[in-house]
Amino acid sequence: MAVASARHILVKDKALAEKLKKQLANGEDFAKLAKKFSTCPSGKRGGDLGEFRKGQMVKAFDDVVFNKPVLEIHGPVKTQFGFHLIQTIYRS
């Protein structure tokens, strides 16, 4: 069973997600932005979701974590929760 670790920033609107993605591209600290902007409880931990198995997250989220390049910032990814910026730390 595939396992991964990821962190994310969850916000309500796409425009804010795009703005935050630009800030990350310019070297802003992911954890600081997650603490400040993320509406997910994981924001308090800098967006860290810890380790999880394929199928534990919603499909759109899983698709990024288990298929896209590791350590890059992906998104905005829309789910029923809002818009995510996702960074996969590792996967096996």
pLDDT for residue 25 is more than 90: yes
The percent of the chain in helix, strand and coil, each rounded to the nearest 5, is 35, 35, 30
Q: For the chain, which residues make up each domain, given as ranges? A: 3-91
- Tell me the HSE value of 80 on the side-chain side, using a 13 A CA sphere: 3
Coil, helix or strand at residue 79: strand
The model's pLDDT over 33-82, given as tens digits with 9 standing for 90+, comes to: 999 999 999 999 999 999 999 999 999 999 999 999 999 999 999 999 99
Question: What sign does the dihedral 70-89-2-41 (CA atoms) show?
Answer: negative
3-91 placed in CATH 3.40.50.1820: no
pTM of the model: 0.96
